[in-house]
Amino acid sequence: MSYETIEVNVAEAIATITINRPKALNALNQQVIAEMHAAVDEIAANENIRALLITGAGDKAFVAGADISELAKLNPVSAKHFASRGHELMFKIEALPIAVIAVVNGFALGGGLELALSCDFIYAADNAKVGQPEINLGIIPGFGGTQRLARIVGRNLAREMILTGMMLSAEEAEKKGIVNRVVPAAELMEAAGKTAKTIARKGRVSVQATKQTIANGMDADLETGCKIEINAFALCMASEDAKEGTSAFLEKRKPEFKGK
Ligand code: CO8
């Protein structure tokens, strides 16, 4: 499939989606959201793809937010539709059975930070900046920022960030647990690619089970979360990958996971 506002590449089982509107700092307009939906569906349907990187074109921004020129024209009805489509996309990314790494190569603001937060984790360039500056536009985050950011950094820092619109440096974002790793800008893609390849070599069944178990348990109480884990663990044991992984260890060889 061909796209106008994003680029999708697949190499060595790793897909990369690059949001490609560098003149608007890769701002998310409705076309980007629609094309991202289609690209993520395509990736979900391709069993040969084992990890996904999401990044922005150019060296200045990952995504500087929703496209403000489009936002300015929304009424409550069209805003609800746009916000809902954005939320659906974030949930679709979270539900992918493969690892998804946000490669934050510059500003990740508003909808850009929300997109990054829907990925499994974030690697950021040392010059990146993250924030939820919607308050400066007289609005609030609309692609999940009030919810996912608070779950990651806690209620009080989320309140401070969203109420002030402050930007955090990559280093501060790493300290607060928003970013997993800060890398010199020139080495960012390579570092994320290396981690993607590491996860891509694991069994597809256990990668998916890990993601689902953490996601389903996060909002539950500890006992319920642990019950979810017990069931997922038992299901994993029915897979060929589990037999292969344990046999390979005992036979002192490298496992060859088939993803079944
Ligand atoms: N939307 C549209 N265009 C943008 C955006 C944006 N979010 N951000 C930057 N641009 C454009 C600028 O207008 C400019 O275009 P032009 O060259 O034609 O004038 C170009 O990108 C370069 O930007 P700047 O000249 O401003 O570059 P600076 O280096 O001076 O500043 C900043 C960089 C700090 C990133 C600055 O551009 C900025 O503050 N951008 C806006 C950040 C922002 O407020 N983001 C939040 C947007 S709202 C949002 O994300 C809500 C999400 C939920 C929506 C729910 C749907 C209903």
pLDDT tens column, 72-113: 999 999 999 999 999 999 999 999 999 999 999 999 999 999
In a domain, 259, yes or no: no
| 236 shares its domain with 132 | no
pTM summary value: 0.97
Supply the range of the domain harboring residue 159: 6-200
Domain count for the chain: 2
Query: Which residue, 33, 31, 156, 56, is CA-closest to 108?
Result: 56
| 168 shares its domain with 69 | yes
In a domain, 150, yes or no: yes
Q: What CATH number is attached to the domain comprising 64? A: 3.90.226.10
* Helical H segments across 8-75, by residue range: 30-44, 68-71
In a domain, 20, yes or no: yes
Give the pLDDT score at 215: 94
State the amino acid at position 125 in one-letter form. Answer: A
| 18 shares its domain with 50 | yes
| 56 shares its domain with 120 | yes
| 172 shares its domain with 239 | no
Query: Which residue, 215, 122, 218, is CA-closest to 174?
Result: 122
Q: In the structure, which protein residues have their CB atom closer than 6 angstroms to any atom of ligand 1? A: 24-25, 27, 64-69, 71, 74, 79, 82-83, 86, 107, 109-111, 133-134, 137, 141-143
Please report which confidence band the pLDDT of residue 155 belongs to, taking 50, 70 and 90 as the band edges. Answer: very high
Residues 199-208 have pLDDT tens digits of 999 999 999 9
End-to-end CA distance of the chain: 28
Give the pLDDT score at 219: 87
Here the ipTM equals: 0.98
Q: What percent of the chain has pLDDT over 90?
A: 98
Residues 123-150 have pLDDT tens digits of 999 999 999 999 999 999 999 999 999 9
Q: Of 94, 134, 244, 251, which residue is the catalytic one?
A: 134
| 183 shares its domain with 209 | no
Residues 183-223 have pLDDT tens digits of 999 999 999 999 999 999 999 999 999 999 999 999 899 99
Residue 27 tokens, joined: 């701002």
> In whole angstroms, what is the distance from residue 185 CA to residue 201 CA?
26
Per-residue pLDDT at 259 exceeds 90: no
